[in-house]
Amino acid sequence: MEGATQPASKGGPIRDPFPGGADGSARARRLRGAAAALVLLALFVAVPLISRGYLLQFATDILTAVVLAYGWNLISGFTGYLSFGQVSFFGLGAYATALMVMRAHVPWYFAAPLSGLVGAAVALVLGPIMLRLRGILFALGMLGLARILEVVFNNWHYAGGSVGLSLPAELTPVAVYVGMGLLALAGFGISAFFVRSGFGLDVMSLNEDEEAAAALGVPTTRVKVIAFMLSALLPAIAGGLVAWNRSYIDPTSGFDPTVDLQTVVAVMFGGIGTLWGPFLGAAALMIVGEEFLVYFPNLELALYGIVVIATVLAFPGGLVGLANRLGLLRRPIVLSPKSLTAAPPEPRPREYTGPVLEVRDLTVRFGGLTALDHVSLSVRSGETLCIIGANGAGKTTLFNAITGSVKPTSGEILYLGEPISRVPTYLRAQRGMARSFQIPRLLPSLTVWENVVLASRHGRQSHRAAEHAAWVLETIGLAQMWRDPASRLTPGYQRQLEFARVLALSPELVLLDEVMAGMTRDEQEAVRSVIRRLPEFGVAAVACVEHVIAAVADLCDRMVVLDFGRKIAEDTPEKVLKDPAVVRAYLGEPL
Amino acid sequence: MLLLQILVNGVLVGGLYVLIAQSLNLIFGVMGVVNLAHGSFIVLAGLFTYWFTSATGLNPLLVLPLAFVVLGLIGAGLQPLLVEPLMKFGRKAELLSLMVTFGLSYVLLELALQLWGSDFVSVPYLQSSWSLGGLEFSKAFAVSGAFAAAVSAALYFWLNYTDSGKCLLAASQSSTGAICCGIDVRRVRLIAFGLGVGLAAAAGVLVIIVMPLAPQTSDDLTLLAFVIIALGGLGNYGGVAIAAILLGIAQSLSAFFLGGNAEYVLPYVLLILVMVARPERFRPA
Amino acid sequence: MNDAAVASDAPALALENIVAGIGPLTILDGVTLELRRQEVVAVLGANGAGKTTLLRTIAGLLPPRSGRINLFGEPIEGRPAHLITRAGIGHVPSGRELFPRLSVADHFELGGRLSPPARRSELRARILAMFPALGQRLAQRAGTLSGGEQQMLAIARALMTDPRILLLDEPSTGLAPKIVLSVFQTFPMLREQGVSVLVAEQSLTLGLSAADRAYVIDQGRIVLSGDARDLATDHRVVDTYLGR
């Protein structure tokens, strides 16, 4: 951490602290992208000029598959919630369109987008309920939804029952084709937004580690529901267009589970969670599938099944994964700091003058075990408090209760004078309560830069997130490795990155959980110097749980000792460390 | 009286449900894998039974041990190829195995369609019913329920009173702890999967005696098994048994009072109600 | 058990330059240590130093990247973990890893399944004598036991595998001093019965007072070793341990 002992940057242009990723490769990437876009546009325009029959229909089908694939990828790929029932939205959209046209005489150009909104509305209602569940339950819940909808529409006479509804041939096949093409483009656009934006970074972070993301201020439920809504919008509108195309809709075709199968297979094959995966996979599978069916009719399902199995077992990254190994189609780094001016944080006025953190009579029980027993302490502004104790004394549970990942059985926690027991973890982080984890919970597939800018986006310098993140990285000394995936860092650097994320939130209160564990003497010294400088970073108070007492004894103003969930001492470090009861509790009872 | 009849029917159906659910629960408890091909195995066994009885005219219950052994072995053979390689991915194994078994379910679906077409078929076995104290017991249901109960009881006995069964329970509660006892946890997983598939096959033979099956019903069966497990507690054998019977009774009641497709939709509605009312049950572990 | 390999002078356990880690992380960076027959050895170190990884590597839960592990002269590195248990290494893992819905009696049964019935009864009787509290709770589910009882059960289960070596990972965690005392009092008993004990401990004084010899591990390497009594008065131990 060499940077920590150098004077902090005062702002102004920096001689490229973020080496690599030179403009050259970005330009080449843009040229390739433009070329690909032109080719696709040419193909798109050519098809209806060549044919009005089979080829047009086939092209429309490919585009439909692409749209569905993009939709599925949003919730299952980027967000990580596998859904085996996205066809629910497809059918809902189809029915919504048909009902609007047939029963309410809504013109077609309103019906399609409105169907999209119907799908999104359903996702909005179901999302908060279902997205809090484990992955499997969500997947099966969606599967169940599709089945329920099929039964419901089968029995709903207003919607035509099992016969369904037919639509007048108002839209020409070319119009449907163009509409689907635009929708596919929209799908690509939304996915590109996911891949490049801060919101997309939020999505990817909660996919990797939801708890860590919440600790960095990501409003996880809100993000998930928005992703879910977008993933419902696309198939819903597609359903409407397909209903037009076929001129009818019935429960069987509207909620056909094979549609889900094809979508899943397409995205897995193309590369789940990528920008180009859904497009490549859907197109490849449709084309290959057509050929295959010529020779082996009626074996479609088996083909899809085998492709899924083979992809998961042999190349889970799909086509894009293979391309990545050749250096192609790599995900660009989000909010890249190239040509960025790092600047120290803007000072914030501090209104509240009382203790930053107050813990009153806190008790936490897990079943029969009392982890914390009526613990009270406070951390004043400008102070560093150290909490020590043997393993199992309750130190981490205390932190977990303060940050909100554990619910207290009784007692109160006040942050900046206000009770926070009802405030969710991510909001506590946004309000300036930052916590490091005992075992670093980095987001392994995201780069060092992205790990830090994710935090700064939600912290108290969020209006200048990128600049602040750049400054943090430089100050801590990790700027050289901004492009490395966090998983490739050595343990020492990983801990520094954990620290950097905490600082990126620009917190009032910093909670450090055994930050010295496993560090070399040099690394400890570097961390110590950062801790000493925390007030410079705008931090009002620090509470650290430590095992390696000597490393923090001279940094802290007061020391609290926990033993079996109870506070047994609280005083200046010198007095506490001389207390025989403390020495016994900490170093252990001699036999 | 009528109410009693409905309850009895519900319990008999519940008996079948216990078997359908426990066989999936076994796999889930030990490996954290949800076998989405579960229903496909049930249907394959059922359709095979139909073919067997049509071709030979023999008692369908004779197929039970055959289906159990053959499909059990197939399951045990597939586990090291499709499922075991995913175990090394830790937390992601759950979702990856969903994908793989999802694919498998469609391969099996295609197989069933090729062999037996897409029509609903059932085995006309013991069409009549017994009268007992004013109540009608459908013979087929009674026999099927009895066999299902017997198989479930055998499973329960094996799990709780034999060494190999306890090894399986141990491995499902702590695989590290099981290793510390010298248990070969890989082999336990293999056996659990094979057994789970074999029991699903047994369920299939018993199901087709009382209700028609077709290849496309496999998803519904998987979902049914899963709903019961979710209601009864993932990995909790006692809870699942109770949930299965209660669901049988609930369906029987709703079929009578609400008629039509209510009983079909009921499991999902119950699941959603529980998800809304008691979300803590389903919070990530 | 390979009698030919039970050479009279081979130590119970010998680790030579063990390197182990998870993914790109290296946690053990060339560990060499020895556990002689009928001795109690403590491995001391701060959190994150590598104690748990060391025990897991010996037990076979984590294959080492390089180096050798010899059990009474027989190489066992890379062997599947359940076979290492069968070879005679009992493991009481951190977190205990009990079977919460199985009874205390079940734990005894499962631990003893590798032994013939006569030996099993003998072991059971002896272990219940060591931990009478367990004897009063045979039908109780492990998940409902207190922390101290759970730790005792974890040790009992490991002892039921009739080990020649017992590995214990921080057995004092979260236990009241009296219980810790009774747990650590079993080590000399085990030593008399011919079981060599390797205990990883975070509690410094506790580890040293219960052991014959000790190693101090820091950053994945052994930095100090020697007789427990000598180390107890060596200030370098406390320095390393407290990070001075």
**Min distance A514 CA to chain C CA atoms (Å):** 9
DSSP string, A182-242: HHHHHHHHHHHHHHHSHHHHHHHHHHH-HHHHHHTT--HHHHHHHHHHHHHHHHHHHHHHH
Q: What is the pLDDT of residue A3?
A: 29
Q: Which residues contact C31 (CB under 8 A, 6 or more apart)?
A: C15, C17, C18, C50, C54, C67, C217, C220, C221, C222
Tens digits of residue pLDDT in B87-146: 887 777 778 888 899 999 999 999 999 888 888 888 887 777 777 777 777 788 888 888
Q: Is residue A323 part of a domain?
A: no
Q: What is the pLDDT of residue A37?
A: 85
Is the CB of B115 inside 8 Å of chain A's CB atoms?
A: no
Q: What is the pLDDT of residue C74?
A: 92
**Min distance B169 CA to chain C CA atoms (Å):** 8
| pLDDT bracket for residue A53 (50, 70, 90) | confident
| pLDDT bracket for residue C218 (50, 70, 90) | confident
| pLDDT bracket for residue A278 (50, 70, 90) | very high
| pLDDT bracket for residue A12 (50, 70, 90) | very low
Domain that holds residue A185: 51-256
Residue percentage of chain A with pLDDT more than 70: 92
- Distance from the first to the final alpha carbon of chain A: 42
Range list of H helices, B84-214: 93-116, 139-161, 163-173, 175-180, 185-210
Tens digits of residue pLDDT in A111-163: 888 999 999 999 999 998 888 877 777 888 888 888 889 888 988 888 888 88
Radius of gyration of chain A (CA): 28
Q: Is residue A391 part of a domain?
A: yes
Q: Is residue A5 part of a domain?
A: no
- For residues C225-237, give the mean pLDDT: 84
A317: tokens are 């990254």
Residues of chain B neighbouring A307 (CB-CB closer than 8 A): 103
Q: Do A514 and C47 touch (CB under 8 A)?
A: yes
Q: Give the torsion sign (CA, C123, C129, C132, C135).
A: positive
- E strands, chain C, where? 13-22, 25-35, 40-44, 66-71, 74-75, 89-92, 165-169, 196-201, 213-218, 221-227
Rounded to the nearest angstrom, the gap between the alpha carbon of residue C104 and the centroid of all alpha carbons in its chain is 20
- For residues A521-536, give the mean pLDDT: 82
Which of the two residues, A344 and A179, has the higher pLDDT score? A179
From A233, A256, A279, give the residue that closes a domain.
Answer: A256
Cα separation of C174 and A393, whole Å? 7
Q: Is residue A502 part of a domain?
A: yes
- For residues A283-312, give the mean pLDDT: 86
Residues of chain A neighbouring B224 (CB-CB closer than 8 A): none
Which of the two residues, B249 and B34, has the higher pLDDT score? B249
Beta-carbon-side half-sphere exposure of residue A237 (alpha carbons within 13 Å): 26
Q: What is the pLDDT of residue C93?
A: 93
Amino acid at A112: A
CA angle A152, A156, A160 (to 5 degrees): 125
Rounded to the nearest angstrom, the gap between the alpha carbon of residue C158 and the centroid of all alpha carbons in its chain is 9
| pLDDT bracket for residue A16 (50, 70, 90) | low
- For residues B249-270, give the mean pLDDT: 79
Q: How many structural domains compose chain A?
A: 2
- For residues A535-558, give the mean pLDDT: 83
Residues of chain C neighbouring B188 (CB-CB closer than 8 A): none
Which of the two residues, C232 and A550, has the higher pLDDT score? C232
Beta-carbon-side half-sphere exposure of residue A392 (alpha carbons within 13 Å): 18
Task: Tell me the pLDDT of chain B averaged across its residues.
Answer: 86
Backbone phi, psi, residue B36, to 5°: -70, -10
Tens digits of residue pLDDT in A361-394: 999 988 767 889 999 999 998 899 999 887 677 8
| pLDDT bracket for residue B252 (50, 70, 90) | confident
Please give the residue of chain A at the shortest CA–CA distance from B94: A136
Query: Which of A235, A227, A226, A221 is CA-nearest to residue A86?
Result: A235
- For residues A247-254, give the mean pLDDT: 89
A362 and A237: one domain?
no
Q: Which residue has the tokens 């080496």?
A: A19
Of B36, B100, B284, the CB nearest to A313: B100
**Min distance C243 CA to chain A CA atoms (Å):** 6
Is the CB of B30 inside 8 Å of chain C's CB atoms?
A: no
Q: How many structural domains compose chain B?
A: 1
3-state SS string for B117-130: CCCCECCCCCCCEE
Count of Cβ atoms closer than 10 Å to residue A568 Cβ? 18
Which of the two residues, B137 and A459, has the higher pLDDT score? A459
Do A530 and A476 touch, CB atoms closer than 8 A? yes
Cα separation of C140 and A588, whole Å? 31
In terms of phi and psi (left: phi > 0; alpha: psi -120 to 50; beta: otherwise), the region of C169 is beta
Rounded to the nearest angstrom, the gap between the alpha carbon of residue B126 and the centroid of all alpha carbons in its chain is 23
Of A148, A151, A305, the CB nearest to B104: A305
Q: What is the pLDDT of residue A28?
A: 76
- For residues B20-45, give the mean pLDDT: 88
Q: Do A514 and C48 touch (CB under 8 A)?
A: yes
Judged by average pLDDT, the poorest of A229-238, A319-328, B258-267, C55-64 is: B258-267
Please give the residue of chain A at the shortest CA–CA distance from C47: A517
Q: Do B109 and A301 touch (CB under 8 A)?
A: yes
- For residues C44-64, give the mean pLDDT: 89
Which of the two residues, C219 and A287, has the higher pLDDT score? A287
Amino acid at A149: L
Tens digits of residue pLDDT in C138-173: 999 998 888 788 989 999 999 999 999 999 998 887
Judged by average pLDDT, the poorest of A194-208, A271-285, A527-541 is: A527-541
- For residues A217-242, give the mean pLDDT: 95
Chains linked to B by 3 or more Cβ pairs within 8 Å: A, C
Query: Which of C168, C201, C183, C94 is CA-nearest to residue C134?
Result: C183
Backbone phi, psi, residue C233, to 5°: -105, 5
Beta bridge partners of C90: C166
CA angle C187, C192, C193 (to 5 degrees): 95
A212: tokens are 């860590």
Q: What is the pLDDT of residue A339?
A: 64
Count of Cβ atoms closer than 10 Å to residue A348 Cβ? 13
Q: What is the pLDDT of residue A14?
A: 37
Q: Do C101 and B176 touch (CB under 8 A)?
A: no
Task: Tell me the pLDDT of chain A averaged across its residues.
Answer: 85
- For residues A559-570, give the mean pLDDT: 87
CATH code for position A537 = 3.40.50.300
- For residues B70-83, give the mean pLDDT: 93
From A256, A275, A294, give the residue that closes a domain.
Answer: A256
Cα separation of A519 and A567, whole Å? 27
Q: What is the pLDDT of residue A25?
A: 64
Count of Cβ atoms closer than 10 Å to residue C104 Cβ? 28
Residue percentage of chain A with pLDDT more than 90: 35
Does A459 score more than 80 pLDDT?
yes
Of C82, C91, C99, the CB nearest to B173: C99
Can you tell me whether residue A432 is helix, strand or coil? coil
Which helix (DSSP H) or strand (DSSP E) does residue A511 occupy?
strand A509-513
Of C85, C99, C113, the CB nearest to B179: C85
Q: What is the pLDDT of residue A590?
A: 47
Can you tell me whether residue A334 is helix, strand or coil? coil
Does A259 score more than 60 pLDDT?
yes
- Tell me the angle at which helices B63-78 and B185-210 cross, rounded to the nearest 10 degrees: 140
Query: Which of A387, A372, A422 is CA-nearest to residue A573?
Result: A387
A243 and A364: one domain?
no
**CA A132 to each of CA A83, A136, A159, B35, B278: distance values in angstroms, whole numbers, following the listed order:** 14, 11, 32, 22, 12
Q: Is residue A262 part of a domain?
A: no
Q: Which residue has the tokens 């399986």?
A: B168
Q: Do A302 and B110 touch (CB under 8 A)?
A: yes
Q: Is residue A314 part of a domain?
A: no
Q: What is the pLDDT of residue B285?
A: 36
Cα separation of A258 and B217, whole Å? 13
Domain that holds residue B61: 2-282
Residues of chain B neighbouring C83 (CB-CB closer than 8 A): 182
**Min distance A198 CA to chain B CA atoms (Å):** 25
Does A277 score more than 90 pLDDT?
yes
**CA A561 to each of CA A376, A392, A518, A570, A571: distance values in angstroms, whole numbers, following the listed order:** 12, 12, 22, 6, 9
| pTM score | 0.85
Q: What is the pLDDT of residue C8?
A: 67
Is the CB of B100 inside 8 Å of chain A's CB atoms?
A: yes
Q: Which residues contact C217 (CB under 8 A, 6 or more apart)?
A: C31, C43, C44, C45, C49, C50, C51, C54, C223
Can you tell me whether residue C101 is helix, strand or coil? coil
Amino acid at B255: A
Number of helices and strands in chain A (H, E): 23, 12
Which of the two residues, C89 and A517, has the higher pLDDT score? C89
Q: What is the pLDDT of residue A218?
A: 94
Is the CB of C22 inside 8 Å of chain B's CB atoms?
A: no
Cα separation of A83 and A75, whole Å? 7
Query: Which of C126, C184, C176, B75 is CA-nearest to residue A566?
Result: C176
In terms of phi and psi (left: phi > 0; alpha: psi -120 to 50; beta: otherwise), the region of A433 is beta
Rounded to the nearest angstrom, the gap between the alpha carbon of residue B221 and the centroid of all alpha carbons in its chain is 8
Does A589 score more than 60 pLDDT?
no
Cα separation of A510 and B135, whole Å? 71
Pairing of strands C213-218, C196-201: unpaired
Q: What is the pLDDT of residue B203?
A: 93
Residue percentage of chain B with pLDDT more than 70: 95
Q: What is the pLDDT of residue A445?
A: 85
Q: What was the ipTM of the complex prediction?
A: 0.89
A306: tokens are 């085998």
Count of Cβ atoms closer than 10 Å to residue A91 Cβ? 27
A118 and A249: one domain?
yes
Rounded to the nearest angstrom, the gap between the alpha carbon of residue C199 and the centroid of all alpha carbons in its chain is 5
Interface probe, candidates C206, C216, C237, C239, chain A, greatest A C-beta count within 10 A: C206
Q: What is the pLDDT of residue A586?
A: 61
Q: Do B110 and A299 touch (CB under 8 A)?
A: yes
- For residues A48-54, give the mean pLDDT: 82
Q: Do B182 and C93 touch (CB under 8 A)?
A: no
| pLDDT bracket for residue C200 (50, 70, 90) | very high
From A235, A256, A277, give the residue that closes a domain.
Answer: A256
A586: tokens are 């900490």
Q: What is the pLDDT of residue B223?
A: 86
Query: Which of C104, C120, C102 is CA-nearest to residue C112?
Result: C120
Amino acid at A454: L
| pLDDT bracket for residue A585 (50, 70, 90) | low
CATH code for position B196 = 1.10.3470
Does C204 score more than 90 pLDDT?
no
Residues of chain A neighbouring C180 (CB-CB closer than 8 A): 589
Do B31 and B235 touch, CB atoms closer than 8 A? no
| pLDDT bracket for residue C2 (50, 70, 90) | very low
Q: What is the pLDDT of residue C174?
A: 66
